[in-house]
């Protein structure tokens, strides 16, 4: 599942905040010999994935980039305010104030 769909699901289906959604452990099934699994996933998740796929425990680090690097901006329809976030380990991450 692409990162944008995972984050959308965390927001819509699970009611998470944008920050909580971006800090969830990752899974990379984008191809290759292994499914990359962030070791922060519970042992049960790791074992379930390992039962179906060859798995490689893969840390979320700055380099090499082992997972997608999403970014997002949300607009609150009630207030019109925006909030945004980028990949938590991206060296390009930064902050900007709403004007």
Tens of pLDDT along the chain (99 residues) come to 566 678 889 999 999 998 899 889 989 988 889 999 999 999 999 999 999 999 999 988 888 888 888 888 889 889 999 988 888 777 777 666 666
CA distances from 29 to 1, 17, 41, 83 (A): 8, 24, 15, 29
Q: What are phi and psi of 75, to 5 degrees?
A: -115, 125
What six digits make up the tokens of 23? Answer: 């800090």
Looking at residue 39, its pLDDT comes to 96
What six digits make up the tokens of 28? Answer: 């990379």
What six digits make up the tokens of 7? Answer: 């984050």
Looking at residue 68, its pLDDT comes to 84
What global pTM score does this model have?
0.77
- Structural domain for 40, as ranges: 3-86
Looking at residue 96, its pLDDT comes to 64
- The alpha carbon dihedral of 12, 15, 21, 24 has a sign of negative
Q: Is residue 99 part of a domain?
A: no
Q: Is residue 98 part of a domain?
A: no
| CA neighbours closer than 13 Å in the CB half-sphere of residue 20 | 8
Q: Is residue 55 part of a domain?
A: yes
State how many domains the chain has: 1
Instruction: Check if the beta carbon of residue 20 is closer than 8 Å to that of residue 10.
Output: yes
Looking at residue 95, its pLDDT comes to 66
CATH number at residue 17: 3.60.20.40
Q: Is residue 19 part of a domain?
A: yes
């Amino acid at each position: 599942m692409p990162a944008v769909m995972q984050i959308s699901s965390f927001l819509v289906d699970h009611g998470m905040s944008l920050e909580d959604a971006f800090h969830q452990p990752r899974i990379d099934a984008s191809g290759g010999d292994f499914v990359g699994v962030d070791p922060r996933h519970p042992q049960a998740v790791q074992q379930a994935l390992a039962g179906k796929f060859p798995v490689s425990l893969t840390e979320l680090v700055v380099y090499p980039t082992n997972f997608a690097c999403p970014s997002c901006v949300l607009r609150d329809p009630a207030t019109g305010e925006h909030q945004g976030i980028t990949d938590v380990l991206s060296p390009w991450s930064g902050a900007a104030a709403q004007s």
